[in-house]
Amino acid sequence: MSFYSLAKRNALRKPLRAVLLIICIAIAFLIYGLTTSFLGGAQSASAASEDILGITSAGGRAQALPIQLLSRLADIPDVAAVGYVARLRGYAGVEKNRIAVSAADMPRLMQVNGKGLGLTPALLSAMDGARDRVLVGRALAEAQGWVVGQRVTITAFDVFRQAGGRDWRFEIAGIFDGETASTDTYFMIARFDYVNAVRARGRDMVDAFVVLPSPAVSPAVLAARIDARFSSSATPTQTQSEKQFLEAFLRQYADVGLIVNLVVGAAFVTLLMIVINTMIFAIRERTFEIGVLKTLGFSRGHIVALVLVETFFVVLLGGSVGLSLAWLAAQLAGAELGLVFSGAVLAKGVAIMVALSLATGALPAIAALRIPVINAFRTR
Amino acid sequence: MTETPDIYIRLESVSKAYRIAGQAIPIFSGLDLAIPRGDFVAVMGPSGSGKSTLLNMLAGIDRPDAGRVRIGTHQLDQMGEAARGAWRAHHMGIVFQFYNLLPMLNAAENVELPLLLKPLSARERRLRVERVLDLVGLSGRERQYPGMMSGGQQQRVGIARAIVADPGLLLCDEPTGDLDRTSADDILEMLQTLNQVLGKTILMVTHDPQAARLAKRTLHLDKGVFVEEARAPR
């Protein structure tokens, strides 16, 4: 027997109570794991770059910009590379199966964000030849069950073809993986020249320009410089980092980060109260035994250590179960939900377990310390 | 500090009072006691005479209001709580009336508890536990939990726990108070053996005259004064 096994025995002496407590902790860590994986995943802004700038019309994202701005943007000092994107939103098969298509100039996109998207020269070459070729993100390809060489039809919501209809047929030329697991790959990249030539309206207009700043300049400084350049033109711009852009987009619906923090915070505050209450109750039940241990010579430090190890054992067990379930959910949920259970999520979870153990163990430990031996024996 | 030759436990002018509703209720006033090393003393007295208070002070879990409590070379009344705890772990074993075993630990684990405070390997601890359980006649019952044992067996575990760290002093608080006559006699015989064979100094608080008769001498505590019972030499 050791101090650890003594603490473990104390923790498990009432199995039903221990199991309920562990389930309670596991649920809180499951909520933490899922929400944090969501925040760190492809459906949130956290994976977006802060170094790449997106330029849209100052009048709103719905207003397109003329492609002629390209040369003026390229002339601005400290612009290392510039590209452009026209968006085509639609669905495959049924309307709820929404698909986003970004039509881009492939070599320019490669320069600006090829690394982030995981674009390779081989993928770029695969786009040569037929203009209706597309590159599909790994998450989208897996979710739809698409493979290279397959022809797919996207029905656009509002981009009509000159020939009539909204059905756009593409041939899948390759699949890109993204630089990291948290890179959004739930979309496809088409050739701008094809979409631009075939669409019925909005010829030579783009939804956004994307700019890669040179290493010598801060993205924020360059963003201000770009907007200043166009402020008095017919097409004033709003330049933001990709991350700011995405955050602003998500904030149209809700402040996801705030909601997640509130949910996790509420879960942990509730958990803190439950565990503290249960532990204090458990320690009070054992007042007599603590008196016995003190009589045998166990010091205040030993008693505190026993209570803290007991709490840590329960929290660690519950937390591990919760985080394991969150990890499993992230693996099984599929790419559509964009859950990424990263090492950072795990490390933060372990840190929360330690902090929670100390926070919940401190009060019961102090309560145990304050029990005079003589009073403890009177509780029998 | 030096130990007075032959005297192991010495109380000098010890006073103790309890405060109830702001009023001091004296238990002792100027109590003296001297017990030589290797003695086996029974302390008897009516309820409320201060037997338990005396035991608590000798165990270092209570302190006198005035006077000195010295055991061996240690003056307990001058020591802080942590030092008294460490002293208990190394120099004293205590046997309780109601055994006070931890219910979620088996016999061997209960006995091992005091050894967790000593720098011993797991193997050394196990060997010591096996030895003392054998000594108290519980060999083969190491894995039994207190709830599965009779009162007499539980008290044997309690005694094993008290002596496993090899203390010089054994304090017994009504060790047979919860046992039938046969079990009580077994326990008393065991205490006698520990005193006579292993040389443990034993101070036993008891209400049982038969138990007291097995001690080398009996002290009656009444109205804050010890009176030694005269008895024929054995």
Q: Which residue on chain B is closest to A12 by alpha carbon? A: B104
Does residue B79 belong to the interface with chain A, where contact is any CB pair within 8 Å?
A: no
What is the C-alpha to C-alpha distance for residues A299 and A77, in angstroms, rounded to an integer?
A: 70
Residue A241 bridge partners (DSSP): A53
Each residue's pLDDT tens digit, A83-137: 999 999 999 989 889 899 999 999 999 999 888 889 999 999 999 988 999 999 9
Select the residue from B18, B53, B58, B61 to test the A interface by mutation, using most A Cβ atoms within 10 A: B61
Look at residue B1 in the predicted model and tell me its pLDDT.
Answer: 46
The amino acid sitting at A255 is D
Each residue's pLDDT tens digit, A4-28: 888 888 888 889 989 998 999 999 8
Beta carbons of B116 and A1 less than 8 Å apart: yes
Which of A9, A300, A374 comes nearest B61 by C-beta?
A374
Each residue's pLDDT tens digit, A161-214: 998 899 999 999 999 998 877 778 889 999 999 999 999 998 999 999 999 999
Which residue, chain included where needed, has tokens 């309780």? B96
Beta carbons of B82 and A300 less than 8 Å apart: yes
Q: Which domain holds residue A149?
A: 60-235
Task: Judge whether A16 lies within some domain.
Answer: yes
Instruction: Verify that A19 and A136 share a domain, yes or no.
Output: no
Task: Judge whether A122 lies within some domain.
Answer: yes
End residue of a domain, out of A235, A267, A295: A235
Beta carbons of B102 and A1 less than 8 Å apart: no
Q: Which domains does chain B have, with CATH numbers?
A: 7-97+164-228 (3.40.50.300)
Instruction: Verify that A273 and A355 share a domain, yes or no.
Output: yes
Instruction: Verify that A84 and A211 share a domain, yes or no.
Output: yes
Q: In 3D, which of A206, A194, A261 has the Cα closest to residue A237? A: A206
- Region A272-284 average pLDDT: 82
Instruction: Verify that A331 and A184 share a domain, yes or no.
Output: no
Task: Judge whether A121 lies within some domain.
Answer: yes
Task: Judge whether A208 lies within some domain.
Answer: yes
Instruction: Verify that A182 and A112 share a domain, yes or no.
Output: yes
End residue of a domain, out of A189, A206, A235: A235
Q: Residue B198 — very low, low, confident or very high, per pLDDT cuts 50/70/90? A: confident
Instruction: Verify that A39 and A64 share a domain, yes or no.
Output: no
Task: Judge whether A248 lies within some domain.
Answer: no
Does residue B7 belong to the interface with chain A, where contact is any CB pair within 8 Å?
A: no
Instruction: Verify that A115 and A150 share a domain, yes or no.
Output: yes
Q: Which residue on chain A is closest to B88 by alpha carbon? A: A297
Task: Judge whether A142 lies within some domain.
Answer: yes
Query: Which residues in chain B are closer than 8 Å to A297, comparing Cβ atoms?
Result: 85-90, 114, 117
- In chain A, the number of structural domains is 2
Instruction: Verify that A279 and A194 share a domain, yes or no.
Output: no
Which residues, including other chains, have CB under 8 Å from residue A123's CB and lie 6 or more apart?
Answer: A135, A173, A174, A176
Instruction: Verify that A221 and A261 share a domain, yes or no.
Output: no
End residue of a domain, out of A179, A204, A235: A235
Task: Judge whether A183 lies within some domain.
Answer: yes
Instruction: Verify that A230 and A187 share a domain, yes or no.
Output: yes
Instruction: Verify that A218 and A69 share a domain, yes or no.
Output: yes
Beta carbons of A294 and B61 less than 8 Å apart: yes
Give this complex's ipTM: 0.87
Task: Judge whether A243 lies within some domain.
Answer: no
Which residues, including other chains, have CB under 8 Å from residue A252's CB and lie 6 or more apart?
Answer: none
Query: Which residues in chain A are closer than 8 Å to B116, comparing Cβ atoms?
Result: 1-3, 6
Q: In 3D, which of B220, B49, B54, B221 has the Cα closest to residue B229? A: B220
C-alpha separations of A184 from A49, A130, A135, A140, B197 in Å: 11, 26, 14, 9, 81
Instruction: Verify that A84 and A193 share a domain, yes or no.
Output: yes
